[in-house]
Structure 1
Amino acid sequence: MPSSAIFSAAFVRTPEGWSGAEIDLSDAEIVDDLGDAVQETLRLSGDELALLCVEVEDEWFAIARYRGEEEPRVFLSDAQAGLSDTLGELFAEFAGVAPEKDNPALGVRPAGDFELLSDFGVTKEELIELSMEEGVLPADILSVIAERLAFADELDRLR
């Protein structure tokens, strides 16, 4: 299977707004490695809110949310991401789903925490609708979400 182009960046919310950095997840072997990479890249010191955004070409995207000692939360645009690559497997595990290996043509099935961004005004229904919209690329969906959360300029700068 050819490797897909992966873009991943982490964003931290500060009193001045959002700040972001591209993040390398190629060495991630377990779910905890994702949070460790966010922590190290953003140099988090405590209770800051951080979002990890990952997009894999035209296949899937994920958003993980970290804040201090709270349990990390994740939204995965397609439970079948685990079939595409190692990173997809990690995010499927993080979201608590197993890809349907016997039926890979099931179609898009979002998974994880659908309320992940509800305190920012992105409802569960909207997140699901964005994920399942026919013909819309993961990069475009993340751009819409970044616009709603006011870190679109940071996202564009990193891309």
Structure 2
Amino acid sequence: MASSAIFSAAFVRTPDGWSGAEVDLSSAEIVDDLGDAVQESLGLTGDELALLCVEVEDEWFSIARYMGDFEPRVFLSDAHAVMSDVLGELFAEFAGVAPDKENGDLGVRPAGDFELLGDLGMSSEELLELSMEEGVLPADILSVIAEKLGFADELDRLR
């Protein structure tokens, strides 16, 4: 894997608010490994709502949503930027993006499920607007999202 600085943490919604833990994705080889790492890191037992937040330097971020037996959902900030590393390629696959390595400089192209945070208070429009904002770092966007959803303190604690 490239030497990109990767931050990955998962957050679970509990009756008392959100709780977070860092997640090691270095051994993830298939999309299912991501969910397994979240479950292991948070000690999930069933139907909890969990969000996996990943940021890779100044390149891209992703949020994956896990909840019980429901199909996992994912939002990817830029389908082009992820082609630079193995983890990015995994998230592209998760988001259903076919890699286009020839045309990588077409600007930011979000992919995946734009509605995955809708019931938590962030509309697809807000999520897309944040992702497309020129010159804003993935870490800053994740901070805004965490603030809006109520787990900013946990995110800051883990960074």
TM-score by length of 1: 0.97
Maintained 8 Å contact 1:75/1:114: yes
Take 2:111 and 2:117, find their aligned partners in 1: how far apart are those partners?
14
Structure 1 residue 121 displacement after superposition: 1.8
Secondary structure of 2:135's partner? coil
Match of 1:71 in 2: 71
Maintained 8 Å contact 1:11/1:51: yes
User: Residue type of the partner of 1:61?
Assistant: F
Structure 1 residue 104 displacement after superposition: 1.1
User: Residue type of the partner of 2:92?
Assistant: A
Take 1:46 and 1:52, find their aligned partners in 2: how far apart are those partners?
16
Take 2:4 and 2:22, find their aligned partners in 1: how far apart are those partners?
17
Structure 1 residue 152 displacement after superposition: 0.1
Counting only pairs closer than 5 Å after superposition, residues 48-67 of structure 1 correspond to structure 2 as 48-67=48-67
User: Residue type of the partner of 1:122?
Assistant: M
Unaligned ranges ≥5, structure 2: none
Q: What RMSD over aligned residues (CA atoms) do the two structures have, in Å?
A: 1.1
Take 2:51 and 2:123, find their aligned partners in 1: how far apart are those partners?
17
Take 1:147 and 1:43, find their aligned partners in 2: how far apart are those partners?
24
Structure 1 residue 3 displacement after superposition: 1.9
Match of 1:153 in 2: 153
Structure 1 residue 2 displacement after superposition: 5.2
Maintained 8 Å contact 1:74/1:112: yes
Maintained 8 Å contact 1:50/1:65: yes
Counting only pairs closer than 5 Å after superposition, residues 116-127 of structure 1 correspond to structure 2 as 116-127=116-127
Take 1:84 and 1:3, find their aligned partners in 2: how far apart are those partners?
10
User: Residue type of the partner of 1:125?
Assistant: E
In the alignment, does 2:100 pair up with 1:83?
no
TM-score by length of 2: 0.97
Secondary structure of 1:79's partner? coil
User: Residue type of the partner of 2:142?
Assistant: L
Take 1:89 and 1:50, find their aligned partners in 2: how far apart are those partners?
22
Maintained 8 Å contact 1:108/1:132: yes
Count of residues in Structure 1 that have an aligned counterpart in Structure 2: 159
Take 1:150 and 1:125, find their aligned partners in 2: how far apart are those partners?
19
Structure 1 residue 94 displacement after superposition: 0.2
Unaligned ranges ≥5, structure 1: none
In the alignment, does 2:42 pair up with 1:42?
yes
Maintained 8 Å contact 2:23/2:37: yes
Take 1:98 and 1:23, find their aligned partners in 2: how far apart are those partners?
26
Between the aligned residues of both structures, percent identity stands at 83
